[in-house]
Structure 1
Amino acid sequence: MPLSLPFDNSYARLPGRFHARLDPTPVASPGLIAVNDTLAQELGLAPQTLRSASGVQMLAGNAVPEGAAPLAQAYAGHQFGGWVPQLGDGRAILLGEVIDTNGTRRDIQLKGAGPTPFSRRGDGRAAIGPVLREYIVSEAMHALGIPTSRALAAVTTGEAVLRERPLPGAVLTRVAASHIRVGTFQYFAARGDTEALRLLTDHAIARHYPQAETALDLLNGVIAAQARLIARWMGVGFIHGVMNTDNMTISGETIDYGPCAFMDTYHPDKVFSSIDQHGRYAFSRQPDIAVWNLAQLASSLLPLINDNDEAAVETATAALRGFGDLFRAEWLSVFRAKLGLTTAEPEDADLISGLLDRMAFARADFTNTFRGLADDSARDQFTQAEAFDQWATAWQARLARDLPDHQARLRAASPAYIPRNHRIEQAIQAALTGDLTPFHALNAVLARPFDDQPKQAAYALPPRPEETVTRTFCGT
């Protein structure tokens, strides 16, 4: 008998052109990798039920729970600036939506659940490496306080997927506030389907911005949410790696962890993605790309903003121009906290930029430098310590004009532990041999990123030269 979940599927009630209705494709022999107990309970689900034989069958896509309305969402997007009029969920099936214990509507999606009408000749499957990477990084982002999709569970499929070589298959159960993307709006705008745009706008407002009344209100809400999100990425040295418009959510959550990475040695132009040959999505370019993506959302919404084309463009352009000030304010807030500051002074931006410039020059570790400000070890991260000393004098003077007890504030703002690329790679390589111990150990450390964990101090160390990961991959 299939499991029953308390679904309430609002997206499935939208017209048929919004999605393709189909069940996941069953797999040969599913096996459990992990269940996220805390998230399950937050969703009102029993972890022991998800771990049961019938639960694992559901998580693999072999059994559709009662109340589900499985579908693949339609969307378009710009990929590395190139327009693709139809993308859609090519390897993901949205099972449905639940109202969690906080009263928030959440999507439950199976990623790697088999081909869909949007697969574009793909196999619709996922290898275990990308599934573990997304599980680790998305849960780490949540622990860091950054809006993100979540990982509810991961299972193996008992089948191989063919990439450069045969790899074990897996399915990730992903939870998100929604999977509505900038590319979802682009899909209907490109088809001149104003009715669908209006329905989608009303749906997004009801779900994410209930105080909004108009398409312009929605645009302004998304602009503000993305300004906050990107500033928080910058505050932990996170590089998304593939900021295509189909990977930017309307909700302001981080989604689609493909060739993502956290920096070890700081440099503003750092790129990890193997497919980003020209640095379009480099660390320092992420705010600019966010504006570019938001401009595509604004263009899609023009028919709903004003019947007069010229007036609509003028209004939308004014909204987009507001991103810079919003982002700057959020960025200053994030980095003031990382310097232990609670007040604002005009020179703070120069103080922050001065440290970052010196970190790039002296090849300092991003995470350990900011964490080290709390215990006087930041200087040790610099290959040329005098570069830090010159800056530290000005910083100490600035701290003297602020509130006391800055060490506690510094520890609360800068993590000791991030999902370092070499640790993720070690967990993936071990999993390929059937050993999930490194995966579980890494997740346990990352669940408490701001805590001092003396027994786990090795997880805070940068990679040795032979461990350094210079490229990350999508896995599709």
Structure 2
Amino acid sequence: MIGFDNSWVRDLPGSFLRLAPDAAPAPVLVAWNDSLAADLGLDPGVKAHAAQWFSGAALPPGAEPVALAYAGHQFGGFSPQLGDGRAHLLGEFLDGQGRRWDIQLKGSGRTPFSRGGDGKAAIGPMLREYVISEAMAAMGIPTTRALAVVATGETVWREAGPLPGAVVARVAASHIRVGSFQFFSARGETDKLRALLDYTIARHYPHLAPGDALGLFDAVTRAQARLIAQWMGVGFVHGVMNTDNMALSGETIDYGPCAFMEAYAPGTVFSSIDRQGRYAYANQPLILGWNLARLAEALLPFLDPDEARAVALANERLGAIAGIYETEFQAVMAAKLGLAAPDAGLVGDLLGLMPGLDWTLFFRRLSETGSDGVRGMAEGLAGWLERWQAMGPDLGAMRAVNPAIIPRNHLVEAALEAATSGDMAPFHALVAEIRRPFEPAMGREAFALPAPEGFGDYVTFCGT
């Protein structure tokens, strides 16, 4: 009913440890992603086995579970060995079109990479990954997705006290990260690094020739620049853009202390551990360049046999990243403003007027009613609106890219708190609405409006 291939195990020795997930003692399926299951072409009978297969209680046919090894810069500090401290890759599912998808369990038990952690997860963070990744997918932003969340029947202990445990089954184009390359680079294992290079090209960028490290770097740069421009367009703050959380597939991966900005503020930070604002909303494009520089360092042996020439090529590419990102960002903003062509001056002036305005609500009202819907929301906006109106914006096109519904922070928290107490209804109601982000908010205003007064500053946690 579900078959696995295991190319990672076959082709990338030294990049994993064979390890079975912990067996959940009393697994119960609490969330099943029918939409994703249909997209993958999974046999409908898989759902009947989901509680067992996606909790570690039993293994799906053909699964060869492994914990992946990788390195990474975490908040700027390098760790030569991180790896899956609470995750197990079951294998790769091939869909009806021949596309390969990793299926990984998260929260499935301690591994040699756990670094003192318990390897478990509470139900709240696992459901957060589900709801935020579904919102991103519905908005057309490349992302991993959650296939299932299974309550394990175990209790996990966090600062908040005892919490019900859970495992999420995550589907990804792959789990190849910048940190995957850093792992072999830090060890000087050039042969394994070359194997990873060729594997990544074959899996994600098959138009490139084997060994084309420069082509791979260019392709990843474009994919990541486009991705982060899309994040910025919807006000998404990832929260922990470490190099081990940047996927070479160009997908959003690892939904820990993430959230959506409501009132526009470039310095917005949600993560409880990001005390310096390294991964603040406005810093995400800068971290794009920083992380790609680390990838370039790992790829240096393959850029050119001459080290000086390799460094020059890398620096040339790194110097172009800001321009590539700006092109992507201006394209995103042109679409949000319904313009036929980007206008950086118009965008810059608008951002200067927006601090304090609800990011999502402003653009949605602008797309629904034009100038009349937002006039008076900010001092000095009238003049900008006249300039924008004169450019003949396409309101219909704007409504197709400016969401009415995002996972509002107060609603996410309410849904997760209810689920922790055993009530899944608010979670399912929220998921149903965020899957229709561009439809009018009429009749579902409770999901479209900002947090009520008194909600306070929002702080998120990674869940470990």
Settle same-fold status: TM greater than 0.5. yes
- The aligned runs of 1:164-179 (5 Å cut-off) are 164=159, 165-179=161-175
CA distance in 2, matches of 1:383, 1:258: 37
- The aligned runs of 1:406-425 (5 Å cut-off) are 406-425=394-413
Please name the residue that 2:274 is paired with. 276
- Tell me which of 21, 24, 27 is aligned to 2:24: 27
Q: 8 Å contact 2:139–2:401 — kept in the other structure?
A: no
- Partner AA of 2:414 in structure 1: Q
Deviation of 1:378 after TM superposition, in Å, equals: 6.9
Give 5+ residue unaligned stretches, structure 1: none
Q: TM-score, normalised by structure 1?
A: 0.94
Deviation of 1:387 after TM superposition, in Å, equals: 2.6
- The aligned runs of 1:207-226 (5 Å cut-off) are 207-213=203-209, 214-226=212-224
CA distance in 2, matches of 1:46, 1:342: 43
- CA displacement 1:314-366 (0-9 Å, x = unmatched): 1111112221221111111110011111234xxx1111111111111xx1100
Deviation of 1:471 after TM superposition, in Å, equals: 1.1
Please name the residue that 1:91 is paired with. 86
CA distance in 1, matches of 2:228, 2:292: 13
Please name the residue that 1:45 is paired with. 42
Please name the residue that 1:368 is paired with. 361
Q: 8 Å contact 1:7–1:67 — kept in the other structure?
A: yes
1:14 matches 2:8: no
- CA displacement 1:4-52 (0-9 Å, x = unmatched): 52211110113431100011110111111111112112222134x2332
- The aligned runs of 1:15-164 (5 Å cut-off) are 15-47=12-44, 49-52=45-48, 54-164=49-159
CA distance in 1, matches of 2:375, 2:424: 35
- Partner AA of 2:301 in structure 1: P
Deviates more, 1:156-165 or 1:34-43: 34-43
Please name the residue that 1:428 is paired with. 416
Please name the residue that 1:456 is paired with. 444
Please name the residue that 2:383 is paired with. 390
Q: 8 Å contact 2:368–2:399 — kept in the other structure?
A: no
Deviation of 1:467 after TM superposition, in Å, equals: 2.3
Please name the residue that 1:331 is paired with. 329
Q: 8 Å contact 2:125–2:462 — kept in the other structure?
A: yes
Runs of 4+ in 1 over 4 A off after TM superposition: 377-384
Deviation of 1:385 after TM superposition, in Å, equals: 3.8
Q: 8 Å contact 1:379–1:388 — kept in the other structure?
A: no
CA distance in 2, matches of 1:297, 1:354: 34
Q: Percent identity?
A: 55
- Tell me which of 440, 453, 457 is aligned to 1:465: 453
Deviation of 1:111 after TM superposition, in Å, equals: 0.7
1:236 matches 2:224: no
- Partner AA of 1:273 in structure 2: S
SS for the counterpart of 1:356 is helix
- Partner AA of 1:254 in structure 2: T
- Partner AA of 2:102 in structure 1: D
Q: 8 Å contact 2:406–2:437 — kept in the other structure?
A: yes
Q: 8 Å contact 2:353–2:379 — kept in the other structure?
A: no
SS for the counterpart of 2:134 is helix
- CA displacement 1:417-439 (0-9 Å, x = unmatched): 11111111000111111100010
- Tell me which of 420, 440, 443 is aligned to 2:428: 440
State the aligned residue count.
461
Q: 8 Å contact 2:362–2:374 — kept in the other structure?
A: yes
Deviates more, 1:372-381 or 1:173-182: 372-381
CA distance in 1, matches of 2:95, 2:12: 25
1:474 matches 2:457: no
SS for the counterpart of 2:391 is helix
- Tell me which of 193, 200, 203 is aligned to 1:204: 200
CA distance in 2, matches of 1:125, 1:378: 50
- Partner AA of 1:282 in structure 2: A
CA distance in 1, matches of 2:372, 2:255: 32
- Partner AA of 1:160 in structure 2: T
SS for the counterpart of 1:174 is strand
